[in-house]
């Protein structure tokens, strides 16, 4: 009788272990998949930038500094060996440079009316929204994964199989500041 009890207990522990491990694998894969979604949107933005810069160049020849900064930051993103955090930091800087680029349209009325610029700006704005959504999805997925690896009893399985805590993406400090409106 005791053998059946021990055997049954062993089977229950094995089922729990396999189920927990498979659940952790699922969550880890969701984290990786949500990061890949961010990467897809960043690549889309990366591909749109040269077209936007070329369009602006035709109108704002003396705004070379802003254009050069956008291109430089774009190239930093794909530098070999960059970590996820370095990619995110470069993308955050690029977002600021793109805001400067779009501010140029106020100084150049012809640029504002240019159909190519408007179309590219809309594409880029849509891409920025998709990036924001992908970042939200990533953070939600990371939160669920981290909760899973920190919760009892799956934390035991997680520690044995070296599932590690993932960091969420944070909004850069500059973007948290209030927008100053002046009339």
The residues, any chain, with a CB within 8 Å of residue 49's CB and separated by 6 or more, are 70, 71, 74, 98, 124
Q: Where are the domains of the chain?
A: 29-169
Alpha-carbon distance values, 134 to 35, 86, 122, 130, 143 (Å): 8, 18, 18, 6, 14
pTM for the full model?
A: 0.69
For 29-169, give the CATH class: mainly alpha
Closest listed residue to residue 165, CA positions, set 135, 138, 142: 142
Q: pLDDT tens-digit profile of 40-94? A: 888 888 888 777 777 766 666 656 666 777 777 777 777 777 777 777 777 778 7
Helices (H), 60-114: 64-77, 84-107, 109-113
């Amino acid at each position: 009788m005791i053998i059946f009890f021990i055997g049954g207990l062993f089977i229950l522990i094995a089922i729990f272990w396999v189920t927990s491990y498979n659940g952790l694998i699922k969550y880890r894969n969701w984290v990786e998949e949500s990061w890949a979604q961010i990467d897809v949107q960043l690549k889309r933005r990366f591909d749109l930038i040269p077209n936007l810069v070329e369009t602006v160049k035709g109108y704002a020849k003396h705004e070379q500094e802003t254009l050069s900064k956008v291109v430089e930051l774009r190239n930093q993103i794909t530098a070999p060996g960059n970590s996820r955090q370095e990619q995110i930091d470069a993308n955050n800087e690029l977002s600021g440079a793109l805001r400067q680029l779009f501010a140029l349209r106020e100084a150049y009325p012809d640029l504002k009316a240019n159909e190519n610029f408007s179309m590219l700006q809309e594409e880029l704005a849509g891409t920025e929204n998709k990036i924001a959504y992908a970042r939200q999805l990533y953070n939600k997925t990371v939160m669920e994964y981290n909760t899973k690896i920190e919760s009892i009893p799956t934390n035991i399985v997680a520690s044995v199989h070296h599932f590690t805590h993932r960091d969420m993406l944070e909004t850069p400090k500059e973007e948290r500041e209030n927008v100053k409106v002046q009339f």
